[in-house]
Amino acid sequence: MESLSIRVFGDPVLKRVAEDVQDIDGSLASLCGRMLEAMYQAPGIGLAAPQVGVSKRFFVYDYGDGPKVLINPEIVESDGEWEFDEGCLSVPGLSWNIVRPKRIHIVGYGLEGEEISIEADELESRLYQHEMDHLNGKLLLDYLDDDQKREAKKILRQMIMSHGNDDPDGTQRIKFP
Ligand code: ZN
């Protein structure tokens, strides 16, 4: 099966607010498997459905203890503040210091329909917050000031142009090493 391409900045699907997953079924499970493959290949530690062109509320991740999926996630509590250098597979090659809540409590569902509840701190907390942003159509660039944003867009435009945009559906794709 053809591997999934990761959509990059400029693709409208990344700006869309994703819809709730209605059915947790076999096709969702197989899509998650393919997303995990693309994530490991990138490599990354998290990948949200909109990043592969699917505007649904779920993401896959591996925070060092194996592949996992979180469906229809919701952050029910957050506190503290923590700044960290953050990058994104959809904004390749760039990263910024971004301030986010330090701790969160996130809930959602797994592929068996089981309820999942996670309390996370620092980097793990940031991973979930980052993927949640993707489900809400938000990218790292939305955290930048005007100067940073202008500079970032310039770099990204050049990067996208030099990689070409030769897909028939006009989707911008970048191959990762
Ligand atoms: Zn991202």
Q: How do residues 27-76 score in pLDDT, each as one tens digit?
A: 999 999 999 999 999 999 999 999 999 999 999 999 999 999 999 999 99
Could you tell me if 50 and 134 are in contact, meaning their C-beta atoms sit under 8 angstroms apart? yes
Q: How do residues 8-38 score in pLDDT, each as one tens digit?
A: 999 999 999 999 999 999 999 999 999 999 9
Distance 90 CA to ligand 1 centre (A): 6
Other residues' Cβ atoms within 10 Å of the Cβ of residue 108: 22
Ordered by start, the domain boundaries in the chain are 6-162
Distance 11 CA to ligand 1 centre (A): 13
**Residue that the structure tokens 């250098």 belong to:** 85
- Kindly indicate the confidence band of residue 1, based on its pLDDT and cuts at 50, 70 and 90: low
Question: What is the CATH class of 6-162?
Answer: alpha beta
Question: Does residue 115 carry a catalytic annotation?
Answer: no
Give the Å distances, CA to CA, from 60 to 81, 107, 131, 168: 25, 14, 9, 28
